[in-house]
Structure 1
């Protein structure tokens, strides 16, 4: 490691030359003090040759070794209040967020009050437990704090569930299967069951097992998990948590780490970097001050940095020409610790290190600014008309976003918005991204985009894989040869289509048209109001004739029907299970997968009994799959079902249900099967 020395008052501060992060404060020995004696008093030491600019400090000419001291609260106070320390604020802002430093000592000005808040008690003492981890969707809000406590609350602030991890949790993310949390023991935990289950260990061999392994970023997109740790390693796992690739990025403290269908975007102490989602290849890098927070929009990356600025960068860039487009979107009074964007992506919210909370429109005009009285927000999420945040006090806050507050700007932007070249090179004209008009979300343009992606060779392979031949289960189905990620990208682009246009897609002869239409419904449902969700469910059930292959069922029934029925009567599933349609029967059983993740098994077991003697192997596989998921959550429930029904279960169904058993137990159950 090599470090830069900075003078602050009568102290020397160290910066990591590779990552740009704060290392600590130098502790220098007396001129005649031996290294052994110094280490006896101060612990391990570093040698002089690790200091790249030591020759610029004549008072250190005698120095051959030194120690490093971690800053305490008094040093952060000096940084914010002492003129001789202020040039190092950019270092201390980033580290201050990492330790949960609260600069909001005495709120001033207009104070905003949450509609509800909750602070978990600290059973070990009266000190505060900052909470960095936050995830929110239309069903629950999840938070995790420094002690590893994770809580799930509904949108009225009532506690639904809680878990205890061994150490601090920094990240929470969810997909259609479960919710996942990171822990400083190096593990990724699945929280779908009664107890947290460690499902992946991210620990590197380079870090001793005696030390914590800090995961700073976790995202799920493109049907893959993405993880970045403090030591700069980015990892991609597929939905089954199998390793896809790893990349050493050298920039580990990532307060912003998010992916879309094309790239992974990492904010770090030196700026923002984009990597190709398929391979991890470096796409572009842009140097800014330390990135403390960020969000993605359809076309841009918005980040808050330690120089108090909010920047907006284009998602496209050229690493060879070292170019990207960037503009200053807004300026805050303090370092932006957290940000979030409204679901329509027209308003973004920022919380700073002094307890300030701001709302800006996309032009960068300030809509309002308030102060908090309950600490400094470390993480934020926006869901519908609610804004959620977790704080340095360990509190989760819920604010109602009043529409009247989001209309008229209260002050102009401090400086005009202009596109700026990369600091390392000017932008050649040929590399400038021409501003195109916003795409028009029409059915015809979606059909054109789908046809443009057609791949005849893939179409042949897909037709064979999905058994479209005469007498097979998907007889007559036609394929264009478009991959699932490409269809998801288009579904997001055209998610504003109405039911009439989606109906045309569902009645198409092309498989990809129907799948894209159904994917649009899943994206609409995730952001819909209860009334809109009811309409989407009714439309979905009215068009089950178009959900006529197993992938169409499996990708869509849980995000729509399963999510909706969590709080509703489930009689419709039994009607589907008793219908004459193979696909409606598969919808019935696969939908219960959503209930399993919430610890509800009764409907899965009941529908499995109804389909126990079904003649088709696609139902055998689906029932076995759901039974296996029950067993992952509660093995005793599955064993009780198998003890009663294993001898009547089709062999494929039984094999699917017990594939996670050890070999002797699998063989014992297979011997009971009546169907060989």
Structure 2
């Protein structure tokens, strides 16, 4: 395993060199101990030769070997929330959404979202909350996927219809041509039909033996499917689920994906790339300092939210096959913009952030509503028949109608 190390002063933070994701914090070995004795205390032992950028970090010369502390979220929050390491903070903010994290909000509002109904799946493994980051709505049902691979299907009144258990975390659910598709962290895409799951595509290469093979995003392109995995591979499947082309983008944290049938818009840690559906040719790219968390296509523009809380748009649509596109900022959330969409009828933009705030902006960016989610951070936000549905880091799905 290879790593990219970041020196943040008192510690090194390590990222996976293949995926770009944060692996954890370096636990440094001492010259007076052996790798074997060090491994008894801290597990797997690595050497500085495993760090690809070691020549740029003189302090690593003092480190004979190291282990990784994987779960110190508090330290990462304290170190990165107010740090000058914007590149590292950007990765961390994107991963917060993937892992379903919410952070203490500033005390600037006591207005809470008023729920019509709420539902939290039972957790037979304990009393702790399991984040539900995936949500899809169709004419009949709400489909909710959580971190433990539980699929809950509810009607629009919040009544549970049935549940199914998948092998790993559910990363995406989409509806396409009256079909329901589910992407799972076992590397497979499933078709849901008659309350049963059928595996239709396996994204994992034969020579990959990772514990998980994560599909970061899935979308439909007319009757076809498009997916992107944690290694940055963008794949186009035809209506028979056969791979038509695959492109290695070398882009990390590509958690946002959408298509208008002719073009594919891939949001990643440093901006948006636009590709042709026909052959995967890069049509244009727009570089950003912060990562793209979500995208929403309208007939005229592409609206998207970023890890720094900005909401922006790219226009005009008739130029999307060329590089003559215009970028402009619209609005600003207080925290990282986890999810959002545009209501075309009312010309309103709805979004939510990692503090648990819910926002409603006019299309010109004027803020008309800011409320707090009573169930933690909203990880996914959808609309159906002028009511809103959300999933949260506490595992709750709830329905509400904001007073806009």
**TM-score for both structures, normalised by structure 2:** 0.89
- Asked if structure 2 preserves the Cα contact closer than 8 Å seen for 1:225 and 1:239, the reply is yes
Hey, what's the Cα distance between the residues in 2 that align with 1:323 and 1:143?
A: 38
**Counterpart contact for 1:257–1:265, Cα < 8 Å:** yes
Please name the residue that 2:287 is paired with: 287
Change (3 A) 1:2 1:168: closer
Mapping for residues 373-392 of structure 1, pairs under 5 Å:
373-392=374-393
Partners of 1:18 and 1:361 in 2: how far apart?
40
Give 1:265 deviation, angstroms. Answer: 0.8
Distance 1:285 1:23 in 2: 28
Deviation of the 1:259 alpha carbon: 0.8
Q: How far apart are residue 308 of structure 1 and its match?
A: 2.1
* Equivalent in the alignment of 1:221: 221
Kept in 1, the 8 Å contact 2:137–2:382? The answer is yes
| 1-structure distance, mates of 2:180, 2:145 | 12
Deviates more, 1:361-370 or 1:193-202: 193-202
Asked which structure has the greater RCO (Cα within 8 Å, sep 6+), the reply is 2
Aligned residue number for residue 163 of structure 1: 164
**In structure 2, how many angstroms separate the alpha carbons of the residues matched to 1:347 and 1:105?**
24
Other-structure match for 1:298: 299
Q: Secondary structure of 1:128's partner? A: coil
- Other-structure match for 1:239: 239
Instruction: Tell me by how many angstroms 1:326 deviates.
Output: 1.4
SS at match of 1:93: helix
Are positions 1:262 and 2:259 aligned together?
no
Taking a change above 3 Å as real, the CA distance of residues 261 and 176 of structure 1, as seen in their structure-2 partners, is closer
Structure 2: any 5+ residue segments left out of the alignment? none
Query: Can you list the C-alpha shifts for 1:201-229, whole angstroms capped at 9, x where unaligned?
Result: 12123420x51111111111221011111
Report the structure, 1 or 2, having the larger helix content: 1
Deviation at 1:361, TM superposition (A): 1.7
* 1:229–1:253 CA contact under 8 A, matched in 2: no
Q: Is the 8 A contact 2:267 2:294 kept in 1?
A: yes
Distance 1:394 1:212, change over 3 A: same
Shift of 1:291: 1.7
Match of 2:351 in 1: 350
Query: What is the deviation of 1:123?
Result: 1.0
Alignment partners' CA distance in 2, 1:80 and 1:399: 33
**Structure 1 equivalent of residue 251 of structure 2:** 251
**1:13–1:24 Cα contact (<8 Å) kept:** yes
1:80/1:357 Cα in 2 relative to 1: closer, same or farther (>3 Å)?
Answer: farther
CA deviations over 1:380-418 (Å, ceiling 9, x no partner): 11122111111101111111144xx1xxxxxxxxxxxxx
Task: Provide the residue aligned with 1:212 in structure 2.
Answer: 212
What's the secondary structure of 1:95's corresponding residue? helix
Q: Distance in 2 between matches of 1:323 and 1:50?
A: 40
The equivalent of 1:621 in structure 2 is none
| Structure 2 residue aligned with 1:333 | 334
Check whether the contact 2:91–2:253 (CA below 8 A) recurs between aligned residues.
Answer: no
Q: How much has 1:280 moved relative to structure 2?
A: 1.1
* Pairing 1:70–2:70 present: yes
What SS does structure 2 have at the residue aligned with 1:27? strand
Alignment CA distance shift 1:303-1:19 (3 Å): farther
Q: Which residue is equivalent to 1:22?
A: 22
Q: How far apart in 2 are the matches of 1:61 and 1:71? A: 26
The answer to whether the Cα contact below 8 Å between 1:343 and 1:383 also exists between their aligned partners in 2 is no
Aligned partner of 2:367 in structure 1 is 366
Q: Which of the pair is proportionally richer in strand?
A: 2
> How much is the aligned-residue C-alpha RMSD, in angstroms?
2.6
Determine if contact 1:335/1:353 at 8 Å carries over to the other structure. yes
- The match for 2:96 is 96
- Structure 1 residue aligned with 2:192: 191
8 Å contact kept, 2:295–2:303: yes
Question: Partners of 1:185 and 1:49 in 2: how far apart?
Answer: 27
What secondary structure is seen at the aligned counterpart in 1 of 2:75?
helix
Cα distance in 2, alignment partners of residues 83 and 195 from structure 1: 47
Q: Deviations over 1:643-667 (max 9, x none)?
A: xxxxxxxxxxxxxxxxxxxxxxxxx
